[in-house]
Amino acid sequence: MIRHVLAALLLALPAAAQTASPTLTDIRARGELRCVVNGALPGFSAPDAGGAMRGMDADFCRAVAAATLGDAAKVRFATAATVAEALGALEGGTADLVVRNATRLYLREAGRPVASAGTLYFDGLGFLVPEASPATLPGDLAGRRLCISAAGGTATREALESTIGAATIVEAPDGTAMMRALEAGECDAAASDASQLMVRRVSDLARPAGFRMLATVVTREPLGPFVRAGDAAWRSIVFWTLQAMLEAEELEAASSNLVAVMQRNEPALWRLLGVEPGIGAALGLSEDWVLQVIAQVGNYAEVFDRNLGAGSAFRLDRGLNDNWNRGGLHYPMPLR
């Protein structure tokens, strides 16, 4: 029923303009979006029992597929154990998009032909300690044994050196091994992105209640999608897909209420969802591209809640990842 109503509302809309993005041209010719994710980080990207990739990052890949191909299912996922490997796939032309826990850093953009396309998740280097640990602040861990994942690279080591000072670093091959080392008492704390520690505390530890997060993070880690440099139109598509999901949340447009909200006499909402034409042609997309994203994947709140928040096993608070008008850092750029 919803599909029929939406189709009727959009029948009069003009077709999309020709795109200037060679990446988009290739994606449409191929019939699928090639998206690189972590693939081993529950809540962000990891296969479910049936083998389907699930998580916030995976859903953002699906949102871009919905925007560009009209079908959120048209994604071919690839996994990368490290950020360097993922960005290498972009550089080598075997991926169209990277959406994994990758921080936007100066040297990642200035030093190689890739470009950030926004911040999907605001994070920071955090610490997980046993419940009985006397540590309450990161500085309390000076001189202690700190487990890290090799996937964090030199950036994690440098951050620890500049904020904690002298410490014994115990490097594990990946995030799961890092948590096992913490659980086995091989280190006094695990240091990684706070989001990773919070989800791995639930997914990887036999007794999650025996461990707690320190309240303070010591770095700024804006995690988000990356594209190849040199195709500004493609970067705009990815960037504005994220902004559209954030703005849809602010305008209270969700996958569960699209038919109702489209009846509201609200120009900003009509423009966002393509009832009033004009939002698609500039990007080379159909006029209903945002509507497809929201109908098939959801707004930002829906994606966060089902993968990381109240609808998930992790029950993370929105915190910094809430909208600006509720004290968070997400400030959607106006789609007008």
Q: Is residue 24 part of a domain?
A: yes
Q: Is residue 315 over pLDDT 50?
A: yes
Q: How far is CA 46 from the centre of its chain?
A: 13
Distance CA 120, CA 305 (A): 14
pLDDT at 265: 85
Look at residue 154 in the predicted model and tell me its pLDDT.
77
Residue 328 resides in a domain: no
Identify whether 102 is part of a domain: yes
pLDDT confidence tier of residue 276, bands split at 50, 70 and 90: confident
* pLDDT surpasses 70 at 69: yes
Pick the last residue of a domain from 173, 189, 219.
219
Task: Please state the rounded mean pLDDT for residues 302-331.
Answer: 97
Task: Write out the residue range of the structural domain in which residue 157 sits.
Answer: 125-219
What pLDDT sits at residue 79?
A: 98
pLDDT (mean) for 294-312: 98
Percent of the chain's residues with pLDDT above 70:
94
Q: Do 62 and 206 reside in the same domain of the chain? A: no
Site of tokens 């994604």 = 75
Q: What is the pLDDT of residues 156-172, one digit of tens each?
A: 888 888 888 888 999 99
User: What per-residue confidence (pLDDT) applies to 96?
Assistant: 98
**Which helix (H) or strand (E) covers residue 146, if one does?**
strand 145-149
- Structure-block tokens of residue 245: 């999901």
Q: Residues 39, 239, 16, 298: what is their CA dihedral angle, to the nearest 10 degrees?
A: 60
Please state the rounded mean pLDDT for residues 29-51.
Answer: 97
| Same domain (yes/no): 129, 116 | no
Residue 280 to residue 67: CA distance in whole angstroms: 10
Mean pLDDT of 220-230: 96
Q: pLDDT tens digit string along 3-14?
A: 443 444 443 333
Mean pLDDT value across the chain? 91
Burial 237-273 (b: 16+ CB within 10 A, else e): bbbbbbbbbbbbbbbebbbeebeebbeeebeebbbbb
Mean pLDDT of 39-46: 97
Asked if residue 109 and residue 160 are part of one domain, the reply reads no
- Note whether 66 and 30 are same-domain residues: yes
The answer to whether residue 3 is domain-embedded is no
Q: Looking at the structure, tell me whether residues 259 and 315 fall in a common domain.
A: yes
Last-in-domain residue among 169, 190, 219: 219
Q: Looking at the structure, tell me whether residues 165 and 304 fall in a common domain.
A: no
> In the predicted model, is pLDDT for residue 88 greater than 70?
yes
Considering only residues 108 and 236, tell me which one the structure prediction assigns the higher pLDDT. 236
Smallest CA-to-CA distance from 213 within 81, 123, 303 is with 123
Q: What is the pLDDT of residue 11?
A: 36
Residue 111: give its domain's CATH number.
Answer: 3.40.190.10
Residue 35 confidence (pLDDT): 98
What pTM, to 2 d.p., does this model score? 0.91
pLDDT at 2 over 60: no
Q: Which among 219, 234, 262 is the end of a domain? A: 219
Q: Is residue 141 helix, strand or coil?
A: helix
334 located within any domain: no
Q: How far apart are CA 126 and CA 218, in angstroms?
A: 7
Per-residue DSSP letter, 264 = S
- Is residue 71 pLDDT above 60, yes or no? yes
d(CA 165, CA 207): 30
The predicted model gives 194-222 an average pLDDT of 96
Q: Does 103 lie in the same domain as 181?
A: no
**Tally of structural domains, the chain:** 2
Q: For 31-123, where are the alpha helices, taking DSSP H only?
A: 56-69, 83-92, 106-110
Q: Examine the pLDDT at 1 and tell me if it is beyond 80.
A: no
pLDDT at 157: 85
Domain membership of residue 77 (yes or no) is: yes
Residue 7: inside a domain: no
* 113 in the same domain as 253: yes
Segment (H or E) for 240: helix 232-250
Q: In the beta sheet, which residues pair with residue 192?
A: 126
Of 64, 54, 55, whose CA–CA distance to 27 is shortest? 64
